[in-house]
Amino acid sequence: MKKVIVGNHAVSLGVKLARVEVVSAYPITPQTQVVEMLSEMCASGELAARFIKVESEHSAMAACCGASAAGTRTFTASSSQGLALMHEMLHWAGNGRHPVVMANINRAMGPGWNVWTDQNDSLSQRDTGWIQLYCETNQEVLDTTIQAFKLAEAVDLPVMVILDAFYLSHTSEPVEIPDQDLVDEFLPRREARLKLDTSDPRSFGSLVRPEDYMEMRWDQQQAMTTALRMYEEIDADWKILTGRRWGAIEPYRMDDAELVLVTSGTVTSTAREVIDQRREDGEMIGLLKVKMFRPFPSAAIRRALRGVDRVAVLDRNVSPGHSGIFAEEIRAALYDVPPDDRPWLHGYVLGLGGRDVTPATIEEIIERAWAVDTPPREDLWVGLKT
């Protein structure tokens, strides 16, 4: 069944179809519609979940950890400051290996207050042990939400499904809603491998000494590695059921491309249009969409970009004092490519705090990328007022 819905409701519908058992959340713009719809669903019985209306995001994630540790499928949603407040408990979920799923609506960090999109909130949580999946469309949001539970529970890692504020969260798009039966087949009820169980009483999270700690982090790292492969399998299964797959990365019109733009989130859609146009005009130009940021699909990115002349990474985020964060990561990934095959990498910081990224912005980047004849020393900021 196809419906025209906003991205936030795509999340809520995905959560419902996943038959989430415990929701714990705190409202923040632009996430509110997610929890409002879930509240309605829980109240009406449409979703047989307990919704804990906590007093803070910190408690939201804490409650999720508890509910997940007790063996249930658990969900929350947040954004920006709220996500930042959760930080400590994101680690707890990550290191505790709780397969919590969260939707994060990308929103810029204050001050000053800014409710519009950029990726600094989620990217700041890079090292908390969460899988991060960035979405481009509302269909992808819905599908990814369902996939996220499957992935999280397969490897016992939490998953963050990420969508741009307003461009997705509040923008209506037609979305194919899968049947419940189909989702049930794809995603059976969670059977936790380890859980709080009075018939097998165990202590979770007690003091770990140096002689034991590293192995746990190593196991987590292995799980992340597994998640890369596991996502491809899950995605393939999803395709069998729905005809759609998304991929950890998506190369777009990259055949013989000499310049490849690397994007994530809704900037991708804008870039697709520009690239389509330029390909029509015969320009050897392509696009690489990165959906999965953690675990980082380095090998796939290397394979995709190897031999390309120039790569322009579009970052709706910045690591102050360094560069755009995707650019950093991709630059590091490409270091393993032999110098002869290694592309020049151009980093572009753009669209922070919800500043518009229009086709013209993309055009400007492409022009600048073609224009330089030596590898650039630092990222270029696009669209700055002079």
Partner 1 sequence: MPRAPYVEPLVSVSRGSTRQNRTGSWKYIRPLYRDAVAPCNRACPAGVDIEGYMNLLREGRLDDALDLLLRENPMPAITGRVCHHPCEVGCNRREYDQAVTVHSVERALGDESLSRPHPAPPPRLHSERVAIVGAGPAGLACAYHLARLGYGVTVYDEAAEAGGLLRQGIPGYRLPREVLDRQIERIASMGVDIRTGVRLAGEKAQAELEGYDAVFYATGAHKGKPMRVEGEDGPGIVAGLEFLKAVNRGERPEIGRRVAIIGGGNTAMDCARTALRFGAEPVVVYRRTRDEMPAIPQEVDEALREGVEFVFLAAPSGFRWEDGRLVEMHVTRMELGEPDDSGRRRPVPIDDDGYTIPVDTVLTAIGEDTELEALPWSLPEKWGSIIVDDFGLAGAERVFAGGDVAGEERTVADALGSGKRAAMGIDRLFRGGDDGGRPAEVTDLRWGGDGQVSMSRWRGDDPVRRTNPTNQVVDIEGLQLAHFRREPSHQERHRHDAVDFSEVNLGIDMEQAIAEARRCFNCGVCNDCELCLILCPDVAIVRREGGGFEVDLDHCKGCGVCAEECPRGAIIMTREGL
Partner 2 sequence: MSQVMIKELVPRRELVDPGHLACPGCGAPLAMRLVLKELGEKTIVVLPACCWSIIAGPYPQSSLHVPLYHTAFETAAAVASGIRAALDVRGDTDTTVMAWAGDGGTFDIGLQALSGAAERNEDFLYVCYDNEAYMNTGIQRSSATPWGAWTTTTPRSQPQGTKKKDILSIMAAHRIPYAATACVSYPADLLEKVRKAKSIRGTRFLHILSPCPPGWKFSDEQSIEMGRKAVQNRIFPLMEVEDGIRWRFTMETDGDRVEPYIKAQGRFRHLTDEDMVRIQDEVNARWEYLERMVASSP
Residue ranges that bind partner 1, judged by CB under 8 A: 95-97, 155-156, 193-194, 202-208, 212, 215-216, 218-220, 222-223, 226
Give residue 324's identity as a one-letter amino acid code: G
- Whose Cβ is closer to partner 2: residue 99's or residue 265's? 99
In the bound complex, what is the minimum distance in angstroms from residue 98's beta carbon to partner 1?
9
Q: How far apart are CB 101 and partner 2 at their closest, in Å? A: 14
Which residues of the shown chain bind partner 2 in the complex (CB under 8 A)? 21-22, 24, 48-50, 52-56, 58-60, 62-72, 74, 88-89, 92, 196-198, 200-209, 212
Q: Which is nearer to partner 1, 171 or 220 (CB)?
A: 220
Which amino acid makes up residue 199?
Answer: S
From the list partner 1, partner 2, none, pick the one residue 56 interacts with, judged by a Cβ distance below 5 to 8 Å according to partner type: partner 2
Choice between 71 and 353, CB closer to partner 2: 71
Give 129 or 354: the residue with its C-beta nearer to partner 1: 129
**CB contact set of 173 (below 8 Å; sequence gap of 6+):** 4, 5, 6, 7, 137, 138, 139
What does 236 bind: partner 2, partner 1, none (CB cut-off 5 to 8 Å by kind)?
A: none
Output 1 or 207, the one with its CB closest to partner 1: 207
Provide, rounded to whole angstroms, the least separation between the CB of residue 234 and partner 2.
24
* Partner interacting with residue 58 (select from partner 1, partner 2, none; CB below 5-8 Å by kind): partner 2
Residue 221: contacted member of partner 1, partner 2, none (CB under 5 to 8 Å, by partner type): none
**Residue 215 exposure: Cα atoms within 13 Å on the Cβ side:** 5
DSSP 316: S
Element (H, E) at 250: strand 249-252
CA–chain centroid gap for 306, Å, is: 24
Scan for tokens 């936790």, then name that residue: 192
What is the smallest separation between the CB atom of 385 and partner 1, expressed in angstroms? Answer: 49
Cβ distance to partner 2 smaller for residue 191 or 255: 191
Residue closer to partner 1 by CB (options 148, 285) is 148
The Cα angle at residue 66 between residues 63 and 70, in degrees rounded to 5: 140
In the DSSP assignment, the letter for residue 284 is: -
3-class DSSP state of 381: strand
**Euclidean distance between CA atoms 358 and 210, whole angstroms:** 51
CA-based torsion, 366, 275, 5, 104: positive or negative: negative
Angle at 333 (CA atoms; ends 336, 89), nearest 5 degrees: 140
List the single partner that 97 binds among partner 2, partner 1, none, CB under 5 to 8 Å by kind.
partner 1
Least gap, CB of 60 to partner 2 (angstroms) = 8
SS3 2: strand
Least distance (Å) between residue 88 CB and partner 1 = 17
Name which of 198 and 374 has its Cβ closer to partner 2: 198
Q: In sequence order, what are the residues at sequence separation of 6 or more whose Cβ sits closer than 8 angstroms to the Cβ of residue 114?
A: 107, 108, 353, 354
State the binding partner of 95 from partner 1, partner 2, none, CB within 5 to 8 A by kind. partner 1
Q: Which is nearer to partner 1, 182 or 192 (CB)?
A: 192
| Strand, helix or coil for residue 259 | strand
In this structure, are residues 234 and 150 in contact, taking their beta carbons and an 8 Å threshold?
yes
- Residue 225: how many CB atoms within 10 A of its CB? 12
Closest separation in Å from C-beta 215 to partner 2: 11
Q: Provide, rounded to whole angstroms, the least separation between the CB of residue 207 and partner 2.
A: 4
The answer to whether the beta carbons of residues 379 and 262 sit under 8 Å apart is no
Given partner 2, partner 1, none, residue 74, with its beta carbon under 5 to 8 Å by kind, binds: partner 2
Residue among 219 and 336 whose Cβ is closer to partner 1: 219
Residue 106's SS3 state is strand
Cβ 71 to partner 1, closest distance in Å? 13
319 binds, among partner 2, partner 1, none (CB under 5 to 8 A by kind): none
Closest approach of partner 2 to the CB of residue 55, in Å: 3
The rounded distance, in Å, linking the Cα atoms of 158 and 88 is 14
Q: What distance in Å separates the CA atoms of residue 108 and residue 191, rounded to the nearest whole number?
A: 37
Contact partner, 115, from partner 2, partner 1, none, Cβ < 5-8 Å per class: none
Give φ, ψ of 130 to 5 degrees: -105, 145
